[in-house]
Structure formats: structure tokens, C-alpha cells
Structure 1
């Protein structure tokens, strides 16, 4: 059996866990962005909610009012969640897929799959949300 000094074992343990901590960073960032956007919806702050949208989404909805109305009509559980919690996540290249379990204003449970894409400046923006009337949703 090879014995190594405690300091070496500690450094090795840190180096082995470092990639895991680094890998979680995009997920933490994505969750923060999603939470901030939901808070903006709850505060009827269209400008802030719109600021988290990707350029592709802004291309489809070129005005914050049009974007906000679309969310109100088509994504009511996201616009006015009763409760929400983060579920599973997946990192695929420059995309983070984040599951959000939502209790809608009518009490029904939903799964929202958020797709966040890394921008050229290193930030992440929401590039789409898929709503599923089930919680939890399918494997991501």
C-alpha cells in the first residue's frame, strides 16, 4: 500500500474535484438567469425579462412588449408560477438545458425545459422554453 502525506492527498482530492466544480458553473449561471427572468415576469418588468432573451429570440420578437405579451399568452406557468424548483440539468457544448418544475397559477404541475446558449462574450441567454404538462418531464 502506498502512503502519501495528508497534504498530497488533500491536493489530489482538490484537483480531482475541480473539474466538477467548474462544470457546475454554467448550470449555476443558467439557474440564476432563469430565476431573475421569472422574478421580472412576477414584477411585470418587461425590459428586464427581455434582457435575458437570446439574439435569436429577440429576432422573432423585436420589441419587449411583443415578447412580454407572447409569454403572458403562451407561457402562463412561467409568467405567473405558483412555485418553482430547479430539476435536472445538462450541458451540451455551449448549451445548458435546465429543467424547471413549476406549479402553474391554476395549480397544475408543469415542466419547463429552458435552453440557454453561450454567447460570443461568454454570457448565457435564454434561447427557448419547452413547456410540458407533466412533472418531472422526460429524460433530458
Structure 2
């Protein structure tokens, strides 16, 4: 019996990194797809990656796009978008992203995504900090 428990514990220890990697890849796919939609000014598609709580706040896709344009210019228009570390657990993924905006200024973004009842990941928030400043 102890050998079986030990094997089970070993299997769990190997499964966790794979799960985290899968969640990270899923989160990056959602973030990338939203960034691409924003780059095309496709408000409807960009809005579809926002969690229901954000969709209720903004009511419609055009209002969401306006908020991103005005409050998240580096996300809206950027020269580069590079994924960093991610952390996952309890149905959430936090994904670090280094963004260089249209003017060449680097920014650190922290995206937070949450698993929805249908199993999809949706963005529930994003914070931006200019590199070299504190949050």
C-alpha cells in the first residue's frame, strides 16, 4: 500500500507542471487572440475574450474597445508582445506580458484570466506598468 501511495504522489508531481503548462498555453492563446482582434479594431471579437463581469461593466463591444483605446493604449497598439512567466491555480491564470508600445516604450502587463463554467478562459483584468516605474 505505501508503494501505491508513493507512486500516486509521484504521478501527481509530474502531472502538475503539465497542467500548468497547458493552462499557460491556453491563457496565451486567449490573450494573443484578443490582441490580434484589437489590432484589427474588431471590437466584437476582442470583447468576446472578456469575462462576463467585464462585459456587464461595459455593456457593448464598442464601449469596451473605447476603454481599451483610451486606457490601455500599449495593449491596443504595440510593436511587440512577449509572454513571460505564468502562474495558475484555483481556476485562474496570471500571465506576465512585456509589451513595447507604438512609441517604443516598454510596459509590463499582468493579465488575469478565470476559467468559466463552460471550461473556457476569459480575461478578468489587466494591469499595466511602465518599465522602470512601480505599480
Deviations 1:75-122 (A, max 9, x none): 000000110100111113111000110001111100110000011111
Structure 2 gaps of 5+ residues are: 1-10
Structure 1 consecutive aligned stretches of length 4 or more whose deviation exceeds 4 Å: none
Query: Do residues 93 (structure 1) and 113 (structure 2) align?
Result: no
Query: Do residues 48 (structure 1) and 45 (structure 2) align?
Result: yes
Deviations 1:45-91 (A, max 9, x none): 11100000000100111100000000000000000011010011111
Residue 17 of structure 1: CA displacement?
Answer: 3.6
* TM-score, normalising length: structure 1: 0.83
Output the CA distance in 2 between the equivalents of 1:60 and 1:35.
22
* TM-score, normalising length: structure 2: 0.86
Residue 18 of structure 1: CA displacement?
Answer: 3.6
Structure 1 gaps of 5+ residues are: 1-14
